[in-house]
Chain A
């Protein structure tokens, strides 16, 4: 018997990779967002800097959504299961 029950499903492979990559980007995006909020609360940034940061993060979120949609993934799909440890995000 073949060791692996390999299903050659090209869309599946592509989607699997996209999901992995986009999940990691989503993780970074969330971390960046949290960091931005912290810096904003910290009071060391000017209004202009805060506005620019916010706009950049908004665009990043939009872009990520577009990329995900391109691969037929929804926002909720961007997650990695860590088995009994729950999920990454």
Chain B
């Protein structure tokens, strides 16, 4: 739903939270896609837009800012908290590398990386 006087925002390709309250932008950190992950943070590939509420609905006007912040706090947790199974590491057993984990990588067996050449579509 578009905010007051703003063009309709369809899902953006580049990431992250767009939430602009009257008082300034949200503190929720924007999650960016590869290839520019912030080095200190693992970033999943997500495209989430938090839209402003429908300005025509006066009854909700009071609760809207609250709802917006609830959504922001929740989304911040979903994107930036939780167990991180992916990272920059290799899991070895008895010196044999079994699993390769890279930033925002699909967890995959090392042999798949080594044996199979990259497919042209990047899968």
Q: Which residues of A contact B (CB under 8 A)?
A: 1-9, 12-13, 15-17, 19, 76-77, 79-85, 87
Are A84 and B14 in touch, CB under 8 angstroms?
no
Nearest A-chain residue to B112, judged by Cβ:
A1
CB-CB nearest in chain B for A75: B25
Q: Is the interface of B mostly helix, strand, loop or mixed?
A: loop
* 9 CB-based A-B contacts, threshold 8 Å: A1-B108, A1-B123, A4-B103, A7-B34, A8-B35, A16-B36, A81-B41, A83-B38, A87-B27
Chain B contacts for A81, CB-based, 8 A: 29-30, 38, 40-41, 80
Kindly list chain A residues whose C-beta atoms are within 8 Å of the C-beta of B41.
81-83
* B83 CB contacts on chain A under 8 angstroms: none
Closest B residue to A15 by beta carbon equals B36
CB-nearest residue of chain B to A82: B40
**B14 in complex: contacting residue of A12, A79, A82, A85, CB < 8 Å:** A12
Number of interface residues of B (CB under 8 A): 32
Give chain A residues whose Cβ lies under 8 Å from the Cβ of B118.
2
Q: Within the complex, what minimum Cβ distance (angstroms) separates A59 from chain B?
A: 24
B52 within 8 A of A: no
B116 at the interface (CB under 8 A from A): yes
Q: Give the CA-CA distance A80 to B32 in the complex, in Å.
A: 11
Given A1-B123, A81-B29, A83-B80, CB of A7 within 8 Å of CB of B35: yes
